[in-house]
């Protein structure tokens, strides 16, 4: 079960002809899939497309009614391979994942799919994770389209256009027998907007029909000589078919005056930014009227040579607004124009930066620079664009830059991964620093303060594999971290079996929190929840042993910092060959609280006995050294200033968000920190026995306290 319920959004998927959908971009795409008569959807969760997966997981009744098969694929490769169903059958299918990392993983299947081509529409929806808020390396998905000859849609970031491109994308795929990628950037995935819906469509040809009447065509299998034919087919048949369709259906859009001396070619996804910049320069209005002609590429691959030529002809210069690098479109435009001997000057990365996100300031500056070079009179009486540079240059604001602390993401309150890294920090204090490889997942937050653990991250499920080279004789062993998400994504073979087979003398820490937690808490094979639609409860320990690991230790309580540290020590000192695998399992606290909190509150309301645990700090015992914080970083463990004139530094303090996970106590015990932590067990609806015991205890304790306090000589407070 994902961390968010989409029960309300599922209702939006049921909207019919002529109704209005209002909501998030990625959900609009989901609705568009159903309107397009899709037969199956697969994918791998990850920002910014997780919500597509999550809403479909919650939409079982809608999907059943339409006969749509939905799968949580084990990886992007599995998702892309699912599209094989569209190779021989007129079946529409879609898969989704974050990009470009997802395409990296899926590229084997995508390349094979693209080689043989498709019969039914095959759509790959990618959430391009680039710019602010991105959690991955800054690259483009664009070259994947180029290398495999698949088409890349990059719609204007408004819901009607995005939805239309999903629908047209299927058709494009079918007429050109080519898979189509639909690229949506982070903000477009999360954009709130509206569009008019159509009825959902049942597929004309079902998966069942296909399964019961199988077809095959050796020419579609990637094997010589067919594979040689495929390449020719791509260029001689599929490409022209795609170009024809894109032209005829006017997938790319032209805005503004028909003739002008300059123009702008823009990726669809960047259109709104360009329009805002033109507005800032007094060359457009908020409703899309513009003095500068715009050629908007809702299809960024392939480019339509004829359209480019028509747009460029009779212009002195055109500007390409293309985010990311290298500048594939700009290069291609140059080739197109040179081949046709059109001498229009092409600007792009000369006035815009090669690297980095195209924010409004960047685009405005670029367009202004372009116009200054090629059509200065347009800028004649434009107002000065909005600008914050005067404010930012003020010394008091510069002072602020030194004051505002960074605030990267970190482990949540009560996160079960925190004690694992606290133990790892402690063992390094004891045995010295170690070579530690990180992986993808929440556990990567350990690379930041206060833990500062993990030197590299090579990809999802590749943590232990990235320690492979260190399998040499040495006084220290490498340590690798892998999460349960990465483990099932491909870590079991690529990392664990690889380590076993190569007898790697490394310590592998499997962080098992029962979910693919960083992506929103989706279930995975080792999830402990009973999920009627999926086979869960397949333990990591069994899997690890199944591929031959012998030294395996497991805990179901990661909060036991002492055990964790001691087990790490044993693993690091073990003489046994092969990987030493520690499986550290405790439920993701974010998900656990979502599950448990309402039940707890209801039980308390119903008068049932319940104990709530919380941690506290005795501020008069705390000396304000913050050693506990350096082993925790928990958002609910903070500091507070005291009015005690004998205390200089703020003392530790625990706020009301504490969930009583136990890390504070365990850490202070294992690291021998200080006795200021206490756990408070608050008994709600105590039983009569509770009350009886408590009364006795309190009366004895009260008596003793009164006795001592009566004899105490002290200044009054």
Residues 303-322 that bind other proteins (CB under 8 A): none
- Residue 331 binds other proteins (CB under 8 A): no
DSSP string for 461-515: T-TGGGGGGG-S--SS--EEEEEHHHIIIIIIIIIIIHHHHTT---EEEEEE-SS
Q: 511-550: which residues touch other proteins (CB under 8 A)?
A: 518
Q: 359-418: which residues touch other proteins (CB under 8 A)?
A: 359-361, 364, 377-378, 380-382, 385-389, 391-392, 394, 396-397, 399-401, 403-412
Q: Which residue has the tokens 């849609």?
A: 153
N-term to C-term CA, the chain: 54
- Residue 448 binds other proteins (CB under 8 A): yes
Please report which residue ranges of 574-632 form alpha helices under DSSP H. Answer: 589-605, 627-630
Q: Which is nearer to other proteins, 247 or 338 (CB)?
A: 247
Residues 6+ apart with CB under 8 A from 514: 484, 526, 527, 528, 529, 585, 587, 588, 591
Q: Which is nearer to other proteins, 393 or 472 (CB)?
A: 393
- Residue 214 binds other proteins (CB under 8 A): no
- Residue 449 binds other proteins (CB under 8 A): yes
Q: CB under 8 A: which stretch of 205-213, 324-332, 430-438, 668-676 binds other proteins?
A: 668-676
- Smallest separation, CB 636 to other proteins (Å): 10
Q: CB under 8 A: which stretch of 83-91, 258-266, 319-327, 329-337 binds other proteins?
A: 258-266
Q: CB under 8 A: which stretch of 125-133, 234-242, 339-347, 543-551 binds other proteins?
A: 125-133
Per-residue binder mask for other proteins (CB under 8 A), 19-38, x = binder: ---x----------------
Q: CB under 8 A: which stretch of 37-45, 84-92, 188-196, 319-327 binds other proteins?
A: 188-196
Go through 254-268 and write b for each residue having 16 or more CB atoms within 10 A of its CB, e for each that does not: ebbeeebbbbbbbbb
- Residue 442 binds other proteins (CB under 8 A): yes
- Residue 675 binds other proteins (CB under 8 A): yes
Q: How far apart are CA 67 and CA 206, in angstroms?
A: 8
Q: Which residue has the tokens 């463990």?
A: 637
When binding is defined by CB under 8 A, the residue of 283, 337, 446, 583 that contacts other proteins is 283
When binding is defined by CB under 8 A, the residue of 105, 626, 659, 661 that contacts other proteins is 626
Q: 70-109: which residues touch other proteins (CB under 8 A)?
A: none
Q: How far apart are CA 178 and CA 153, in angstroms?
A: 13
Go through 138-165 and write b for each residue having 16 or more CB atoms within 10 A of its CB, e for each that does not: ebbbbebbeebbbbbbbbbbbbebbbbb
CA dihedral 286→292→293→297, nearest 10 degrees, is -60
When binding is defined by CB under 8 A, the residue of 37, 48, 366, 459 that contacts other proteins is 48
- Residue 685 binds other proteins (CB under 8 A): yes
Surface-to-core class of residue 74, CB atoms within 10 Å of its CB (0-12 exposed, 13-18 middle, 19+ buried)? middle
Per-residue binder mask for other proteins (CB under 8 A), 139-178, x = binder: ------------------xx--------------------
Q: Which is nearer to other proteins, 240 or 409 (CB)?
A: 409
Measure Cα distances from 395 to 14, 82, 387 in Å. Answer: 56, 58, 17
Q: 284-303: which residues touch other proteins (CB under 8 A)?
A: 284-289, 291
Q: How far apart are CA 257 and CA 272, in angstroms?
A: 18
Q: Which is nearer to other proteins, 257 or 546 (CB)?
A: 257
- Residue 620 binds other proteins (CB under 8 A): yes
Residues 6+ apart with CB under 8 A from 693: none
Per-residue binder mask for other proteins (CB under 8 A), 637-666, x = binder: -xx-x-xxxx-xxx-----x-------xxx
Go through 594-630 and write b for each residue having 16 or more CB atoms within 10 A of its CB, e for each that does not: beeeeeeeeeeeeeeebeeebbebebeebebebebbb
Instruction: Tell me which H or E stretch contains 435.
Output: none
Q: 456-475: which residues touch other proteins (CB under 8 A)?
A: none
- Smallest separation, CB 479 to other proteins (Å): 21
- Residue 253 binds other proteins (CB under 8 A): yes
Number of residues that bind other proteins (CB under 8 A): 147
Q: 559-578: which residues touch other proteins (CB under 8 A)?
A: 562
Residues 6+ apart with CB under 8 A from 360: 273, 276, 277, 280
């Amino acid at each position: 079960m994902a961390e968010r319920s989409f029960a309300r959004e599922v209702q939006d998927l049921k909207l019919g002809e002529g109704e209005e959908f209002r909501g998030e971009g990625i959900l609009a795409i989901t609705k568009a899939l159903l309107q397009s008569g899709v037969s199956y959807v697969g994918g791998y969760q990850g920002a910014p497309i997780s919500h597509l997966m999550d809403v479909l997981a919650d939409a079982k009744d809608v999907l059943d009614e339409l006969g749509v098969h939905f799968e949580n694929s084990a990886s992007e490769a599995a998702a892309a391979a699912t599209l094989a169903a569209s190779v021989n059958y007129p079946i529409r299918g879609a898969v989704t994942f974050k990009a470009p990392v997802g395409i990296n993983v899926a590229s084997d299947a995508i390349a094979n799919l693209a080689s043989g081509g498709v019969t039914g529409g095959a759509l790959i929806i990618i959430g391009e994770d680039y710019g602010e808020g991105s959690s991955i390396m800054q690259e483009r998905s664009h070259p994947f389209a180029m290398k495999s000859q698949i088409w890349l849609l990059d719609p204007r970031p408004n819901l009607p256009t995005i939805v239309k491109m999903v629908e047209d994308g299927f058709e494009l795929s079918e007429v050109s027998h080519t898979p189509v990628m639909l690229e949506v950037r982070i903000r477009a995935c999360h954009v709130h907007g509206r569009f008019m819906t159509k009825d959902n469509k049942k597929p004309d040809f079902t998966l069942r029909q296909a399964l019961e009447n199988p077809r095959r065509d050796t020419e579609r299998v990637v094997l010589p000589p067919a594979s040689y034919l495929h390449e020719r087919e791509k260029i001689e048949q599929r490409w022209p078919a795609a170009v024809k369709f894109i032209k005829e259906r006017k997938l790319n859009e032209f805005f503004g005056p028909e003739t002008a001396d300059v123009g702008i070619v823009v990726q669809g996804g960047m259109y709104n930014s360009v329009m805002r910049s033109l507005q800032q320069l007094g060359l457009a209005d908020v409703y899309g009227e513009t003095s500068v002609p715009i050629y908007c590429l809702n299809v960024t691959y392939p480019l339509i040579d004829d359209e480019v030529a028509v747009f460029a002809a009779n212009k002195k210069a055109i500007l390409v607004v293309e985010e990311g690098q290298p500048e594939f479109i700009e290069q291609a435009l140059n080739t197109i124009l040179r081949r046709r001997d059109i001498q229009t000057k092409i600007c792009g990365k000369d006035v815009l930066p090669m690297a980095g996100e195209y924010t409004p300031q960047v685009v405005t500056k670029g367009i202004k620079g372009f116009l200054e070079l090629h059509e200065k009179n347009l800028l004649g009486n434009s107002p000065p664009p909005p600008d914050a540079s005067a404010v930012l240059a003020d010394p008091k604001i510069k002072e602020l830059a030194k004051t505002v602390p960074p605030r990267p993401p970190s482990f949540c309150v009560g996160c079960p991964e925190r004690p694992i890294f606290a133990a790892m920090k402690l063992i390094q204090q004891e045995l010295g620093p170690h070579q530690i490889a990180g992986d993808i997942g929440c556990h990567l937050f350990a690379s930041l303060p206060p833990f500062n653990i993990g030197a590299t991250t090579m990809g999802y499920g590749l943590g232990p594999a990235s320690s492979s080279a260190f399998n040499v004789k040495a006084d220290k062993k490498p340590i690798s971290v892998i999460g349960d998400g990465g483990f099932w994504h491909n870590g079991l073979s690529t990392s664990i079996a690889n380590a076993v087979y190569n007898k790697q003398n490394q310590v592998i820490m499997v962080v098992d929190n029962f979910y693919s937690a960083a992506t929103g808490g989706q279930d995975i094979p080792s999830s402990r929840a009973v999920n009627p639609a999926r086979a869960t409860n397949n333990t990591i320990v069994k899997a690890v042993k199944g591929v031959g690991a012998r030294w395996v230790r497991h805990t179901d309580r990661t909060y036991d910092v002492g055990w964790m540290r001691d087990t790490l020590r044993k693993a690091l000192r073990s003489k046994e060959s092969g990987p030493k695998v520690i499986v550290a399992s405790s439920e993701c606290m974010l998900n656990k609280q979502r599950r448990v909190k309402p039940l707890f509150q209801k039980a308390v309301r119903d008068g049932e006995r319940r104990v709530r645990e919380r941690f506290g700090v005795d501020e008069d015992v705390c000396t304000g050294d913050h050693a506990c914080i350096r082993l925790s970083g928990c958002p609910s463990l903070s500091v507070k200033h005291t009015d005690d004139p004998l205390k200089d530094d703020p003392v530790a303090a625990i706020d009301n968000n504490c969930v009583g996970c136990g890390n504070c106590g365990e850490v202070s015990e294992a690291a021998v920190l200080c006795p200021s932590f206490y756990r408070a067990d608050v008994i709600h609806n105590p039983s009569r026995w509770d009350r009886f015991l408590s009364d006795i205890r309190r009366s004895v304790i009260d008596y003793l306290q009164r006795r001592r306090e009566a004899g105490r000589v002290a200044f009054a407070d």
